[in-house]
């Protein structure tokens, strides 16, 4: 149900409009049992392109099958607040395009945008040398163009943000790679899509810096046993090493092709 | 990355690097004089002549969650448009008409001059102009969106998002919206009288929108730069060098660097047959105060001719 309150800053449609209902209902558990084209421990192929937004200091575009997002970094620039801060600030903002999800999202920012932004902030903040930028702010803006699973979104967002920061030339301790996993019973699947997440018992998202073998963020939601969560984290960390190689390769080839 | 138009030095030596830095500082501190230096030579900072247009790239149908989508790139300006279809009750006085709701968003990602938050003035003005262009030309007759008169109609939300803003967002957005509407497909829908619900058959083929193919429009924008302050001038319509000072210069397809320096912006909307649908001219920028009334109208004529020539190429691309 999309109820549009009258927004004087936009062109408005009818007061109430509903997404179309289809005659064959989706079975809840079918998402997990449906055949998967890749193995349980394979993630979707990543296409990562730095330097997409020419107006920004650094940017990256990431595409993994049906999840597409663009990220731009502006900074370090002057902080708007007048209070002195020894360490720089990192500001992450996420915006979902209205056509990015199966149900149309209102253009106003809501709680889900904020939650995704906080998760990405947590993933990348420990990798940046913020003490080198007093009184400054680094702004990371992410626009989600197509969304196939929030966990995949957060993981791809962290990868894109870290690549964009590297593209901007901001000093970091290491590149941050991220991977998500879904659990149903004893079965673990890496990089679940939206249908699999809806059918799963719980999910785990892990962000780490493979170059330093350190973990920056673990986010577990739903019902996952303790051993299951540890196993997820191990699998994600192994996969993050491959993701790191993809990120490094894309940054090197984008630099090589520059004049 | 800031705009560095100087591409002539591939191997940076110390001298070349300091020259580049001085050019960048000059661009930042005195943008009007910087632009004038280029215009007196007959080029613009990105290497184009004043009447040259940037390359246009269109890609449709890449977003699976939307009923129709398009990505348009005009030079650096990148706009993504998606169409979502929802079901709504029609208005009481138009029981057989659906809704077409175009909107554009200029988020903070696309340019350092946009801050996060509610739509800026520029975005609001763009949304209104696009709405006027699409509704007034009757590109999509709203009666074709009817499912059951008085009960249930389609409502198409056409949302455009800018990913990279390098000037001329109107042209790119209009192109993206028209291409996305072309790409849109709707499922077969039936209205059930007893339950009052509208259900769609998911297994049946989706039908494309019945657009008026002869009403497809493209937009073409021009900017007018006030008289260059350097003596040597270039007459754009004849392409010859004249020795005396010439008047303001018409630039086709302004970039983000040129936009704040323009005295006037003219947008021409042309349809498939080459007929001019609408002309919008506005005074803008800080140099608007020096603008001369008479010269303004001659620029509109010049832009009409240039627009009709370029519109043919854009309509070919849309096919």
What pLDDT does B1 receive?
43
Question: Is it the case that residue A135 has pLDDT exceeding 60?
Answer: yes
Record: contact B86-A259, CB cut-off 8 A: no
DSSP letters spanning chain A: -EE----TTS----SEEEPPEESSPPPTTHHHHSPPSS-TTPPPPPEEEE---TTSSEEEEEEETTEEEEEEEEEEEE-SS-S--SS-EEEEEEEE-TTSSSSPPPSS--HHHHHHHHHHHHHHHTTB-GGGSTTEEEEEEEEEEE-S-HHHHHHHHHHHHHHHHHHHT--BSS--EEEEEEEETTEEEES--HHHHHH-SEEEEEEEETTTTEEEEEEEEES--HHHHHHHHHHHHHHHHHHHHHHHHHHHHHHHT--
What integer is the mean pLDDT of B208-217? 82
pLDDT > 90 fraction of chain B, expressed in percent and rounded: 14
pLDDT tens string B273-306? 888 888 887 655 444 444 455 555 677 777 888 8
A33-47, A121-135, B31-45, B124-138 — which is least confidently predicted? A33-47
Q: Find the angle CA(A16)-CA(A12)-CA(B157) to the nearest 5 degrees.
A: 75
Share the mean pLDDT of chain B.
81
Rounded Cα–Cα distance for residues B36 and B59 (Å): 36
Cβ neighbours of residue A84 closer than 8 Å, sequence gap 6 or more: A134, A135
What pLDDT does B296 receive?
55
Question: Is it the case that residue A61 has pLDDT exceeding 90?
Answer: yes
What pLDDT does A35 receive?
67
Tell me how many residue pairs between chain A and chain B have CB atoms under 8 A apart: 153
Rounded Cα–Cα distance for residues B222 and A61 (Å): 31
Cβ neighbours of residue B1 closer than 8 Å, sequence gap 6 or more: A51, A54, A56, A57
Residue B3 pLDDT level (bands cut at 50, 70, 90): very low
Tell whether B95 is within 8 A of chain A (Cβ): no
What integer is the mean pLDDT of B71-82? 92
Residue B195 pLDDT level (bands cut at 50, 70, 90): confident
Record: contact A2-B108, CB cut-off 8 A: no
Token code pair at residue B15: 């001298």
What pLDDT does A31 receive?
67
Is the N-terminal amide bond of A49 cis, ω within 30° of 0?
Answer: no
Residue A39 pLDDT level (bands cut at 50, 70, 90): confident
Calculate how close chain A gets to B182, using CA atoms only, in Å. Answer: 16
A36-50, B111-125, B219-233 — which is least confidently predicted? B219-233
Can you say whether the dihedral through the CA atoms of B285, B291, B296, B302 is positive or negative? negative
pTM for this entry = 0.86
What pLDDT does A259 receive?
57
Which residues, listed in sequence order, are joined to residue B203 by a DSSP beta bridge? none
**ipTM value for the complex:** 0.85
Of A18, A93, A97, the CB nearest to B159: A97
Rounded Cα–Cα distance for residues A144 and B179 (Å): 21
What pLDDT does B294 receive?
54
Q: Which residues from chain A sit within 8 angstroms of residue B87, using beta carbons? A: 17-20
Calculate how close chain B gets to A9, using CA atoms only, in Å. Answer: 6
- Using an 8 Å Cβ cutoff, are A220 and A202 in contact? yes
Token code pair at residue B89: 């009750």
Task: Report the DSSP pairing between strands B152-164 and B99-105.
Answer: parallel
Record: contact A54-B65, CB cut-off 8 A: no
Tell whether B77 is within 8 A of chain A (Cβ): no
Q: Which residues from chain A sit within 8 angstroms of residue B65, using beta carbons? A: 66, 99-102, 146-148
Token code pair at residue B249: 């210069």
């Amino acid at each position: 149900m999309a109820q549009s309150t009258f927004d004087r800053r936009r062109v408005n449609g009818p007061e109430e409009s509903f997404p179309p209902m289809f005659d064959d209902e989706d079975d809840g558990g079918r998402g997990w049992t449906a055949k998967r084209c890749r193995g349980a421990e394979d993630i979707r192929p990543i296409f990562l392109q730095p330097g997409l937004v020419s107006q920004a200091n650094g940017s990256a575009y990431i595409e993994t099958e049906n999840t597409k997002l663009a990220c731009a970094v502006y900074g370090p620039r002057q902080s708007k607040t007048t209070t002195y801060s020894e360490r720089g600030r990192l500001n992450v903002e996420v915006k979902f395009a209205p056509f990015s999800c199966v149900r149309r999202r209102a253009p106003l920012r809501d709680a889900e945008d904020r939650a995704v932004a906080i998760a990405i902030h947590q993933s990348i903040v420990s990798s940046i040398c913020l003490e080198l930028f007093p009184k400054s702010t680094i702004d990371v803006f992410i626009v989600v163009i197509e969304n196939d699973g929030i966990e995949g979104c957060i993981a791809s967002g962290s990868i894109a943000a870290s690549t964009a920061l590297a593209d901007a030339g901001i000093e970091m301790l290491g590149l941050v790679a991220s991977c998500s996993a879904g659990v149903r019973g004893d079965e673990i699947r890496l990089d679940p899509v939206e249908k699999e997440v809806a059918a799963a018992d719980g999910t785990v998202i892990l962000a780490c810096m493979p170059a330093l073998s350190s973990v920056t963020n673990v986010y577990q939601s739903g019902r996952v046993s303790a051993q299951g969560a540890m196993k997820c984290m191990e699998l994600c960390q192994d996969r993050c090493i491959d993701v790191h190689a993809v990120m490094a390769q894309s940054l090197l080839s984008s630099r090589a092709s520059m004049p | 990355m800031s705009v560095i138009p100087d591409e002539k030095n591939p191997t940076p030596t110390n001298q070349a690097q300091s020259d580049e830095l001085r050019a960048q500082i000059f661009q930042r501190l005195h943008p009007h004089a910087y632009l004038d230096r280029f215009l007196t030579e007959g080029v613009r900072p990105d290497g184009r002549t004043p009447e040259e247009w940037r390359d246009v790239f269109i890609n449709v149908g890449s977003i699976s969650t939307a009923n129709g989508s398009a990505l348009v790139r005009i030079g650096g300006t990148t706009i993504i448009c998606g169409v979502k279809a929802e079901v709504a009750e029609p208005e009481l006085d138009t029981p057989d008409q659906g809704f077409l709701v175009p909107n554009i968003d200029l988020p903070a990602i696309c340019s350092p001059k946009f801050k996060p938050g509610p739509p800026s003035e520029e975005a609001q003005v763009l949304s209104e102009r696009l709405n006027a262009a699409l509704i007034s030309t009757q590109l999509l007759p709203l009666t074709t969106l009817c499912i059951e008169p008085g009960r249930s109609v389609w409502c198409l939300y056409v949302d455009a998002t800018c990913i990279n803003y390098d000037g001329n967002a109107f042209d790119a957005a209009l192109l993206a919206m028209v291409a996305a509407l072309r790409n849109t497909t709707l499922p077969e829908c039936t209205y059930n009288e007893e339950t009052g619900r509208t259900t769609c058959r998911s297994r049946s083929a989706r039908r494309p929108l019945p657009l008026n193919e002869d009403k497809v429009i493209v937009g073409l924008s021009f900017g007018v730069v006030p008289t260059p302050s350097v003596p040597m001038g270039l007459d754009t319509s004849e392409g010859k060098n004249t020795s005396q000072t010439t008047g303001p210069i018409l630039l086709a397809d302004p970039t983000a660097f040129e936009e704040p320096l323009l005295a006037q912006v003219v947008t021409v909307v042309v349809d498939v047959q080459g007929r001019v649908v609408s002309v919008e001219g506005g005074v803008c920028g800080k140099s608007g105060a020096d603008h001369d009334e008479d010269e303004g109208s001659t620029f509109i004529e010049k832009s009409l001719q240039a627009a009709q020539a370029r519109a043919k190429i854009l309509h070919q691309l849309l096919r």
